[in-house]
């Protein structure tokens, strides 16, 4: 008689999309800022916005980004920093449970 281990795979869910933690290569929040070229936006760190931007950029939105491998990237967008912070808190609770 052998021993069997029930391996529970740790998962997170963001806006009804579920990911296995072991598959995630990058998971990060960012601010989307307008680049000034057509409708193009760029991701910037929250720290950069708080310290360096000094109001010189136009914020388009906020997001949590999940990169799976080199090609697959999922974006979860929020209209306000408060919405982003609530989503981060919920994500943190999932990871730490």
For the chain of 97 residues, list the mean pLDDT of each consecutive stretch of 10: 51 93 94 92 93 87 94 96 96 89
Residue 5: predicted pLDDT: 39
**Neighbour-count burial of 31, counting CB atoms closer than 10 A to its CB (0-12 exposed, 13-18 middle, 19+ buried):** buried
Residue 97: predicted pLDDT: 80
Residue 96: predicted pLDDT: 86
**Neighbour-count burial of 89, counting CB atoms closer than 10 A to its CB (0-12 exposed, 13-18 middle, 19+ buried):** exposed
CB neighbours of 57 closer than 8 A, spacing ≥ 6? 33, 34, 44, 49
Residue 36: predicted pLDDT: 86
Note the pTM of the prediction, 2 decimals.
0.84
Residue 8: predicted pLDDT: 60
């Amino acid at each position: 008689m052998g021993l069997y281990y029930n391996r529970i795979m740790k998962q997170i869910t963001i806006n009804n999309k579920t990911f296995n933690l072991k598959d995630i290569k990058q998971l990060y929040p960012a601010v989307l800022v307008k680049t000034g070229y057509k409708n193009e936006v760029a991701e910037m760190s929250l720290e950069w916005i708080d310290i360096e931007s000094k109001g010189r950029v136009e914020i388009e939105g906020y997001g949590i980004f999940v990169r799976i491998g080199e090609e697959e990237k999922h974006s979860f967008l929020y209209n306000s920093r408060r919405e982003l912070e609530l989503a981060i808190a919920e994500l943190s609770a999932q990871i730490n449970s």
